[in-house]
């Protein structure tokens, strides 16, 4: 006589058999998709097209995945899976070389992986301007640089790098930032006298540090990954860094998520050498130099309101060519090929000293 346990074992075996069958179907479909990607590469090569990565096409695919996803996996999780599938298939056509603000283990590397997938070839560089130079020189196809944080604001070095660069913004990434307090094998939790991190990370954890380590010296470094590397061999020191740096340098996590704002998010820009076509849900970034006269800012912004173009960010930086003059960096919804956006820019151009479109690109999907 069959028992309930026997019936349960039979049901479990049947479900596992069903999963095995589905896995086989997935293998066959993924292989078919990869072969199709190879055929795309062959067609492009035959007509002399060397641009295998298309940001607008990838954004359209990921949006469709999220919209059509039936569950139970979330749309976000399903899109992440498809991102990796596309990354692996693209590597069969031509691996994408991506420079990022290093060293290894930074949040910028995590942003690069989120946008390009793990099959991209990544190159850590020590400074933002070096990322710009490597992409401009063709040593990297794209670069990833931080531009603003929801807690601490804009990254001025990135904006200033655009002033002298002809590179285009090709995309954006939004990354939730979780900071952890990490120590190496030589440090006991009750002996911490120094805390290393990037200045932005220290600022984002200021209240936590005031409450829990008020006497510890706070030492700024070029990156939180460099902080993690340093404490891995030091005594009485701790680092504020992310999970990637924790794993890379084999550190111990004392406290998790010590950022003062739970929704702490950093936005990163993807920079490249080519413009991006319409994707259907785009943003545009421009750099504008205005005359130093009454009403200059009003005349700059009025056309956006007139034509119904939604401004999403405006930042000001000092001009390098004229004393007490300023350059405005403006982000807004829409693509520069949209008629409404085109009319807005055409109305602004005669009123300013210079207007340069830094890029139109897909709005962040993940």
Q: How do residues 66-87 score in pLDDT, each as one tens digit?
A: 999 999 999 999 999 999 999 9
Domain range for 337: 275-362
Q: How do residues 14-33 score in pLDDT, each as one tens digit?
A: 999 999 999 999 999 999 99
Tell me if 13 is assigned to some domain. no
Answer for the pair 329, 317: CB distance below 8 angstroms, yes or no.
Answer: yes
Answer for the pair 124, 108: CB distance below 8 angstroms, yes or no.
Answer: no
173/90 Cα distance (integer angstroms): 19
Which CATH number covers residue 190? 3.40.190.10
Alpha carbon 199 to chain centroid distance? 19
Q: Is the peptide bond before 72 cis (omega within 30 degrees of 0)?
A: yes
> 339-348 vs 296-306: helix axis angle to the nearest 10?
160
Tell me if 29 is assigned to some domain. no
Pick from 39, 74, 94: which residue ends a domain?
94
Whether 165 and 239 map to the same domain: the answer is no
Residue 271 has pLDDT above 90, yes or no: yes
Residue 4 has pLDDT above 70, yes or no: no
Per-residue pLDDT, averaged over 105-120, amounts to 94
Query: Sign (positive/negative) of CA torsion 177, 180, 181, 182?
Result: negative
Tell me if 345 is assigned to some domain. yes
291/302 Cα distance (integer angstroms): 16
Q: How many domains does the chain have?
A: 4
pTM of the model: 0.90
Tell me if 292 is assigned to some domain. yes
Which CATH number covers residue 296? 3.30.70.260
């Amino acid at each position: 006589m069959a028992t309930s346990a026997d019936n349960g074992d039979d049901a479990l075996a049947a479900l596992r058999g069903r999963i095995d069958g589905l896995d086989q179907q997935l293998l066959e479909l993924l292989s078919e998709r990869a072969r199709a990607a190879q055929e795309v590469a062959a067609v492009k090569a035959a007509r002399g097209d060397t641009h295998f990565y298309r940001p607008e096409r990838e954004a359209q695919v990921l949006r469709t995945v999220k919209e059509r996803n039936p569950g139970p996996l979330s749309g976000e999780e399903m899109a992440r899976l498809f991102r990796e599938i596309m990354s692996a298939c693209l590597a069969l056509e031509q691996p994408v070389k991506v420079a990022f603000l290093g060293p290894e283990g930074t949040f910028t590397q995590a942003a690069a992986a989120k946008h390009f997938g793990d099959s991209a070839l990544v190159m850590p560089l020590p400074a933002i301007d070096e990322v710009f130079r490597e992409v401009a020189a063709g040593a990297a196809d794209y670069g990833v640089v931080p531009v603003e944080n929801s807690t601490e604001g804009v990254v001025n070095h990135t904006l200033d790098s655009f002033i002298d660069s002809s590179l285009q913004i090709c995309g954006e990434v939004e990354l939730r930032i979780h900071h952890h307090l990490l120590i190496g094998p030589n440090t006991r939790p009750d002996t911490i006298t120094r805390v290393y991190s990037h200045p932005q990370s220290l600022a984002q954890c200021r209240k936590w540090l005031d409450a829990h380590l008020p006497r510890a010296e706070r030492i700024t470094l070029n990156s939180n990954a460099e902080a993690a590397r340093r404490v891995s061999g030091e005594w009485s020191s701790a680092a504020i860094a992310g999970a990637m740096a924790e794993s890379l340098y084999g550190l111990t996590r004392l406290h998790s998520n010590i950022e003062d704002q739970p929704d702490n998010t950093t936005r990163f820009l993807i920079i490249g050498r080519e413009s991006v076509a319409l994707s259907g849900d785009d943003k545009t970034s421009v750099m504008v130099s205005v005359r130093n006269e009454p009403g200059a800012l009003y005349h700059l912004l009025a056309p956006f309101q007139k034509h119904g173009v939604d401004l999403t960010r405006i930042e000001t930086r000092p001009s390098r060519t004229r004393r007490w003059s300023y350059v405005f960096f403006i982000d807004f919804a829409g693509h520069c090929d949209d008629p409404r956006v085109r009319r807005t820019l055409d109305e602004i151009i005669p009123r300013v000293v210079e207007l340069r479109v830094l890029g139109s690109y897909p709005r962040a999907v993940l």
